[in-house]
Structure 1
Amino acid sequence: MNNINLDKVTKILSEVRNKIPLVHCITNYVTINDCANILLSYGASPAMCEAYDEVFDFVKLSSALYINLGTLNKEQEQAAVLASTSAKIHDIPVVLDPVACAAVPKKIQVINRILQVGKIDVIKGNIGEIKFLAGQSSNVKGVDSFDTGEGALECCIALSQKYKCTVAATGKKDFITDGKRSAVIENGTEMFTKVTGSGCMLGALCGAACGASEDKFTATVNAILSMNIAGEEAFKAANTPGSFRVKLIDCIYQLSEEKLKEGAKIVWK
């Protein structure tokens, strides 16, 4: 393992806790509370602001913008596009979670509009969503991916080069790239698939990490590694879904650089 890269990755955790980045979240109603709480435990400050009349001005006060398309309604759509425009004007990093984009064509229209008038620094989705965005066939059912990791890194690299951003595809293994540097994370737990919102919480953490670091690739690797190692720790203490969900937030709070270094299973590409 490249220890220089790992040192840079684990340091992001301390940067988040020192800077306490304000993460402006336009996210879905199913997981909004979990996203806010996991951001607090990670060391960031959440703001769940989605009113169209407020988002343009609020973005410029924020450290990062997280857009999740999970339960998209008309006001959220308009707010997300306007917020991304403000992020481009004020140079605020944007993390996009293209939830169910492979199942709902409308979401692609919104993504294209955001790319047209705003900006995206990180796209974080499950493997099925990322393959779909990269123009490949994918195995999805609603918001869930049943895709394997075969070809996932290549799709991430193609999408990253197309949109000039960091791309992460999550699954049994997680694939992250900025088109030049790539990492495959082999940490995690199957219990993530038994609770609603683990992907949404991860997207929020990506926003916090990107709000604390200029290096969006390293920041995204830290967020995913942090989520996975916390998940592994939570599963040791709570191996049923309800208690796991609560313990996960506790374990995010208890993370340290040392825990990340000791537990990391990363293959650098």
Structure 2
Amino acid sequence: MKEKLIEALQAVKQKTPLVHAITNVVTVNDCANSLLAIGASPAMCEAVDEVFEFSQIASSLYLNFGTFTQEQEMAVYLATRGADLKGIPVILDPVACGAIPRKKVTIERLRHFGRFTVIKGNLGEIKALAGLEARVRGVDSLDEGKDGLEACQSLARAYGCVVAATGKVDIITDGKNSCFIKNGTEMLTRITGAGCMAGALVAGFCGAYKDAFWATAAALMTMSLAGELAQETSGGVLPGTFRAHLIDQISLVDGELMEKRGRAQWL
């Protein structure tokens, strides 16, 4: 099974996918740099008068709701419609949708403009979108993982897309096939933007590799492996040092490392 993950990683590095990102102001630089590190080309384009056309020439569209302004709300409608017209993968990162009802309303409206290829969030966000009780604190999930796979499968079936919940163990499912990624480190929770960076990587992988299930699994394994290596090379104590090492290690993840250190379980 790892062969598919390695294929997806190699595709990103070979094809340099153009990722159109409408993301939050806190992590826009981190998302751009993580995409550059893996070999993708980021375009942080959110101007309302540009996004419709730009989404149609991109390899994928990444929508992150972290700091969701009114201009961004209009931009995501236009960009999603443009991407849908051209069959461009759309990756949704529904940040804090469990805490802010407006974001869930926007997501439901977005479904009239196009379909999502992947929904990537923490487990609290995934459960909230699936209509289940979720424990959240702002943008953070307090959910301990109970019924996580069932929640992801339910949302995947309802939306007809791949769903990924990040956490101590990452869950990826298309409603039928499922995967657990068991790499990672607690240090990823001590910096701002690790989840956003993971979402951006999912968009990069989906822009280069057509099977969204395997692309998503490969992206999350890449992020988790990079986190492990960043902790080892930085000493694993200071979050600022860890962040710098994380970008470096994203660029160094390769097929050999996935084969050697990747821990995944398929169902």
| TM bracket, shorter-chain basis | over 0.9
Aligned Cα root-mean-square deviation (Å) = 0.6
Counterpart residue identity of residue 209, structure 2: S
In the other structure, the counterpart of 2:253 is: 255
Q: Secondary structure at the match of 1:227?
A: helix
1:13-28 aligned within 5 A:
13-28=9-24
Deviations 1:1-23 (A, max 9, x none): xxxx2101111111001100000
Matched, 1:228 2:224: yes
Of 127, 146, 153 in structure 1, the residue corresponding to residue 149 of structure 2 is 153
Deviations 1:186-206 (A, max 9, x none): 110000110000000000000
Q: Secondary structure at the match of 2:198?
A: helix
In the other structure, the counterpart of 1:140 is: 136
Offset at residue 94 of structure 1 (A): 0.3
Offset at residue 95 of structure 1 (A): 0.2
In the other structure, the counterpart of 1:124 is: 120
Deviations 1:184-236 (A, max 9, x none): 11110000110000000000000000001110000000000000000000000
Residues 87 and 119 in structure 1, CA contact (< 8 A), matched pair in contact too? no
In the other structure, the counterpart of 1:82 is: 78
In the other structure, the counterpart of 1:184 is: 180
Distance 1:163 1:91 in 2: 16
Offset at residue 119 of structure 1 (A): 1.7
In the other structure, the counterpart of 2:168 is: 172
Q: Secondary structure at the match of 1:71?
A: coil
Offset at residue 109 of structure 1 (A): 1.2
Distance 1:141 1:108 in 2: 16
Distance 1:128 1:149 in 2: 9
Matched, 1:113 2:109: yes
In the other structure, the counterpart of 1:197 is: 193
- Structure 1 residue ranges without an equivalent (≥5): none
Offset at residue 138 of structure 1 (A): 1.1
Distance 1:108 1:27 in 2: 17
Offset at residue 79 of structure 1 (A): 0.1
Q: TM-score, normalised by structure 1?
A: 0.97
- Structure 2 residue ranges without an equivalent (≥5): none
Offset at residue 116 of structure 1 (A): 1.4
Q: Secondary structure at the match of 1:260?
A: helix
Distance 1:184 1:18 in 2: 26
Offset at residue 237 of structure 1 (A): 1.2
Q: Percent identity?
A: 52
Q: How many residues matched?
A: 265
In the other structure, the counterpart of 2:65 is: 69
Distance 1:64 1:267 in 2: 27
